[in-house]
């Protein structure tokens, strides 16, 4: 389990970079409102992470149907964890506490990481 957890977190770190980069561009340069920018940035990271988990983290776990079926389960499960977690924490950290939006987003990402691992392990990439 530990090697898979480390792979999962390596992909997650790259996904966090994708998310923070997208958020920085969408909010910082294109001036999208931070809730919209956050949702779009999370979506970019979810798609990025699926590709890497499919090819590396869970490569040998192809149970439960096609890659499209796994993508739908991953998107559903990760989306149900990541998007609400990120939006609620961003609303609180940035909206109420006036935290810097990139730092707040990094904390939001970390908050959903453990739940996402177990959902992927049990539901998305079944043995």
| pLDDT in single tens digits along all 127 residues of the chain | 889 989 999 999 999 999 999 999 999 999 999 999 998 998 999 899 999 999 999 888 876 688 899 999 998 888 788 888 888 999 999 999 999 999 998 998 888 888 888 888 888 888 7
Contact 71, 50 (CB under 8 A): yes
pLDDT score at 11:
96
pLDDT score at 100:
95
Three-state SS for 50?
helix
Residue 15 has which token pair?
A: 């996904």
Three-state SS for 71?
helix
pLDDT score at 84:
87
pLDDT score at 64:
67
Beta-carbon count within 10 A of 23 CB:
27
């Amino acid at each position: 389990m530990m090697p898979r957890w480390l792979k999962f977190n390596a992909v997650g770190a790259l996904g966090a970079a994708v998310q923070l980069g997208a958020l920085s561009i969408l909010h910082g340069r294109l001036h999208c409102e931070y809730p919209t920018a956050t949702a779009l940035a999370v979506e970019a990271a979810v798609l990025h992470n699926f590709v890497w988990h499919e090819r590396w983290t869970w490569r040998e776990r192809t149970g439960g149907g096609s890659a499209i079926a796994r993508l739908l389960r991953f998107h559903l499960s990760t989306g149900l964890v990541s998007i609400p977690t990120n939006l609620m924490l961003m609303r609180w950290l940035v909206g109420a506490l006036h935290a810097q939006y990139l730092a707040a987003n990094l904390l939001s990402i970390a908050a959903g990481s453990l739940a996402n691992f177990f959902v992927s392990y049990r539901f998305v990439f079944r043995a």
